[in-house]
Structure formats: structure tokens, C-alpha cells
Structure 1
Amino acid sequence: MRKAKEKREAMNPLNSWGLVVLLLCLIWFGGSTTIIDFATKQNRHLSQTLSIVEKQQALLARRQTLETALEKALSEKKGITYLIDPQTKNPSTIFQSFVRDLAKNTGISLTKIKAPQIQKNKYLTLLTMQFEGIGSINNVRDFLIKAASFEPIVRIDNLNLVSISTDANDANLNISMQVSSLMDKSK
């Protein structure tokens, strides 16, 4: 048995248009904020991309000068000679003999030499040695002048002078010194 069709009443046009407008407003308010956020993010990413492109174009414009500076630095590096080459001999004995010769040529008589210590850094290898000796202030001056001629390679880290004589004209000094040398780590 069939039920008789029930008659449904149509919605008031004002109510239906009101619901449609309300639905459209909700969609517009909800969607517009996400669209605005998306647009601002896109603008920010676009400006960041443009600044990166400008930096890369500036680097490309300076490429030739950077390449010439790099070639010049590499040629200067090839021209550097090291005092101690770890491949040829024991670096400790080379450095000890260098310090002995330097002290002998300047008139300092060495009394005590400590074994050199190798300090390895990420990029550098440094050989450090302490020694004691006896000499005059002129001998120390000559030693420092000769050591200064090897300046990037040899450096005086510590120098202590103690007078051991009473004669002011010929004052002998007890010399305690720490000397370091740069080694070539790339070999």
C-alpha cells in the first residue's frame, strides 16, 4: 500500500536567498584568509628568490676577478718554501739542528734542549721546542734579529732572561726560550 504523496511546501524565497548569501559569505571569509596568506607567502618567496638571483648575478659578474685572485693565491702558495718538510727527514731533528745553528751563529751557548713537541691543528702543524742557554744581551738581540728573518715560519713564543753575573759591562744572561716552527701539513 502506497502512502499518499505528502505535499511539501516550498521555502520562502527570502529565506532561501538569505541562506545562499550566508553560505557564500562563509565560503568567502574562510577562503579569502587562506588565499591572502598564500599570496603573501608567495610574494615573500618570490622576493627571496629575486635577492638570491641578484647575489648570484653579482658573483657571476665578479667571477673573472675572483678567478684571477684565486690563481694568484695558488701561485703564491706554490712559491712558499717550508723550513721543515716532514717527508724528507724527522722534523724534530731538523728543527733542533736549525735552532742549534742559529744559537751557535749568534754566540749563545745552549745548555739544555727539550724534545720538540708536534701540535696538530685542523689546518696547521706546529713544532714547538724549549731550550736554555747562556749569552749576552747582544747575543740575544742577534738571535732575535736572525729569527725575525724567518718570521712566518719561525716564531719566538716565550723569552725569559735572568742575569747571572755581577759585572754590568759583561753581563751574562741565563736564557730560557720557546720557539715554534710551522710545518707543511699538506705533504
Structure 2
Amino acid sequence: MSRDGDIDPHALVARFPTKIENLGEIREKCKLTDQIPLASPVRDGGEDSAVPDSAPKNGTRKRPRPSPCKAKVASLTAQLQTAEHCDAFTKVQVQSLRNELDKAKEEVAEVWKARVASLTLQLTSVEGTMADLKKDLTNLRQELANSKLEGAKEAKAQIEAELQLVFSTHTRRQRRTREPL
């Protein structure tokens, strides 16, 4: 017990190392012993103490023997009270652990929310960069097509010029060959 009269669960657990699993068994034993009469019925109905039937009739009284059932009931009652205190203490510990678990879950959720927000920003940035790259790629393709077209036009003009030259050379040769020498 503590100084102010409260029962300290830690001290009880150390003093009475009863397992919490045995609590139901202890309660059952107490129920069974409650059904057993602890003393003989009171004689003459006027006295508080129970007088055994085997008391001498000459007026002297024997002191009643302590009943083994009473001792067992007292022991089991003490064990039951200890177990109930341990049970209450365990319930407090379980609730405390549940509260800590809930806090940890909330902290993990907050960390993941921040991580998701960060990744979302990165994804948005990458998507923007990809859109810019697609525009640049489209522009480069267009420029390539235009340069090919210009190159093709220049090549065509050059080929036409060469063909013109070949035809003009060929026609001159034909004229020379037709002209009498």
C-alpha cells in the first residue's frame, strides 16, 4: 500500500504473483466455497457466534475450531482481490498501449501524407518538363521536315540545273554532229 492508503498494483504483483489467467478459476473456487456452510447453525437463536453441535451439554463451551474452509475462503478472497487489482492494472496498461499505438499510427499517416505530397509535386514537375520536351521535340521535327523540304528543293533545283546542263550539252553535240563538217 502507498502512504495515502491506495493499493499499489506493482507491489501487489510482486507480493502475490498470481497470473491473470487464473482469475476465472479463483472466482469459481470462491463460488464453490460460498455454498459450503462455514459453521453450525446458531443455537438458541440468540447468540452471534455459531456453537458446534458437539458442544458439551454441561454448560461449558468449547472454543470453535477455525474451519479449513474459512481459511481457504480467506486465502482465495485475498488472491481474487490481488488478481482483480492486477486485472485492473493490466487493463490500464492495455489502454495505454492502445493509445500509444494510435499515436504511432497518426504519426505514420502524417509522414506518409507529407511523402505523398512531396512525390505529387515532383510528379507535377516531371510532367511539366515532359510537356516542354514534347513541344521541343515537335518543334525539332517540324524544323527537320522544313530543312529536308528546303534541302529537297535545293537538291531538286540543283538536279534540274544539272539536267539542264546535260540536255544543253547533249543538244549542242547533236547539233554539231548534224552540221556538216
Place the TM-score, normalised by the shorter chain, in its bin. 0.3 to 0.5
More helix by percentage: 2
Q: Greater strand share, 1 or 2?
A: 1
Q: TM-score, normalised by structure 2?
A: 0.32
Q: TM-score, normalised by structure 1?
A: 0.31
Q: Which structure's CA Rg is the greater one?
A: 2
